[in-house]
Chain A
Amino acid sequence: MAHQAHAYHMVDPSPWPLTGAIAALLLTSGTAIWFHFHSLVLVTAGMILLILTMIQWWRDIIREGTFQGHHTPPVQKGLRYGMILFITSEVFFFLGFFWAFYHSSLAPTPELGGCWPPTGIITLDPFEVPLLNTAVLLASGVTVTWAHHSIMEGERKQAIQSLTLTILLGFYFTFLQAMEYYEAPFTIADGVYGSTFFVATGFHGLHVIIGSTFLAVCLLRQIQYHFTSQHHFGFEAAAWYWHFVDVVWLFLYVSIYWWGS
C-alpha cells in the first residue's frame, strides 16, 4: 500500500480557494456596484461567501492537524513562518496609515491653519478613555501570556479562565472605542485630521475584532481538548496576532492621541 515517505503535508483537493477567489471578486465588484448603483446584493453575497469560505477552510485545517495528525514538526514550522510573514505584511499595511498621518501632521498646510491639530478640531483627551483603552489592551497581553503558560503546563481550568478574560478585555476595548466613536466631536469628514484618525483607528478596531474572534475560536478548541501542552500552534498564532494588535495600538496612542493632540 502506498504511503508518503516524507514528513510534509500534501493537502487534499479543496474547493475553498476557489470560493475565496469568487468571494473576492464579488466583494470588489459589489463595492463598485454599491457606490454607483446603490445595490448591496453583490457585496452581501461576497461577504456571506467569504465567511463561509473562512469557516470551512480553517475547520478543514483543524481537522487535518488536530484529528488527522498531518501537522508534523516541519509542517508546523511552515505554519509559523506563514503567520509571521502575514503579520509582517499587516505591519506594512499600518505603516502606510502612519505615513499618511505624519505627512499631514508634521507640516500642516495653511488650509488647516498651519497648525496641528488643525483649527477647529477638538481632540479627545489622551488621558481619559484612550488611556483606559491602553491599560485594557496591555492587561489583555498579560492574560494571553498567562493563558499560554497555563496551556504549556497542562492547567486546563486556568487556561480557560485566562483565555476568557483576554477575550472579555478585547470586547471591553471594542465597546469603549465604539462609545468614543459615537461621542467624538469630529467625524471622518473633518479634513485630514478626521481621515487619518478614523482610518487608522478604524482599521485597528477591525483587527481587534478579528483578533478577538481568533482567540474565541481558540477558547472553544481548548474547551474541546484540541490543544496539548506541546502542540498548540493555533493558540500561539492567535497570541502573536493579539500582541501585534496591542503594539499597533501603542503606536496609535502615542502618535495620534497623545502627540497629535
Chain B
Amino acid sequence: MLSWKAGLRFMPQEQSKPLDLKMAEDIATKLQNYRTAPFDARFPNQNQTRNCFYNYLDYHRCQKSLDAKGVDTAPCDWYKRVYKSLCPMSWIQKWDDQRAEGTFPGKI
C-alpha cells in the first residue's frame, strides 16, 4: 500500500550526489550524534537479550561481507556502537573468545 511518504523520494533535497557518498555521510553523522542505542521496534519488550545478540551478529556479518567485497567497513560501526551499549561486557568477552576458538554458535 503506497503511503504519502513514498512521494518524498522525489523531492529535491540537496544537489544530487552519488548515493554511496550520501550514505557514508549519513552514517558518519549518525555515528557522531550517537549517545546510546535507540529504540528498536523489533525488540519492544523489557528483555533486550535478542537486541544485543543480533547487533553483535550483524556487526560481524557486516564486517565479513564488506571485507570480502573490499569495501570500507565504516558503516558496520553502527552495529558495534549498539551492541557495546547494550551487551554485558562478560557476554562480549565470552563471544569474542568463542569466535577465536571457532565455537561461537551464531551464524556469521
Contacts and interface: CB of A to CB of B under 8 A. Distances in A.
Most buried by B among A109, A110, A112, A119: A110
Nearest to B95: A110
B53 to A, nearest CB: 4
Interface in B1-58: 49-50, 53-54, 57
A120 B107 CA distance: 11
Nearest to A120: B105
A73 interface: no
Interface string A19-46: 0000000000000000000000000000
Interface string A130-172: 0000000000000000000000000000000000000000000
B81 to A, nearest CB: 19
Interface residues on B, range: 10 to 19
Interface in B35-86: 49-50, 53-54, 57
B107 A119 contact: yes
The prevalent SS among residues of B at the interface is helix
Nearest to B52: A110
A113 B107 contact: yes
Interface string A198-232: 00000000000000000000000000000000000
Contacts of A119: 105-107
A118 interface: yes
Contacts of A115: 107
Nearest to B53: A110
Contacts of B50: 107, 114
Interface string A39-67: 00000000000000000000000000000
Interface in A65-115: 107, 109-115
B28 to A, nearest CB: 30
B52 to A, nearest CB: 8
A119 B95 CA distance: 14
Nearest to A191: B105
A109 B91 CA distance: 13
A113 B104 CA distance: 8
Contacts of B105: 110-114, 118-120
B98 to A, nearest CB: 10
Contacts of B107: 113, 115, 119
Given A114-B54, A119-B105, A119-B107, 8 more contacts: A107-B50, A110-B95, A111-B105, A112-B105, A113-B105, A113-B106, A113-B107, A114-B57
Interface of A: 107, 109-115, 118-120
Interface of B: 49-50, 53-54, 57, 91, 95, 105-107
List the 3 shortest-distance A-B pairs measured between CB atoms, nearest first. Answer: A113-B105, A119-B105, A110-B53
22 contacts: A107-B50, A109-B49, A110-B49, A110-B53, A110-B91, A110-B105, A110-B106, A111-B105, A112-B105, A113-B105, A113-B106, A114-B50, A114-B53, A114-B54, A114-B57, A114-B105, A114-B106, A118-B105, A119-B105, A119-B106, A119-B107, A120-B105
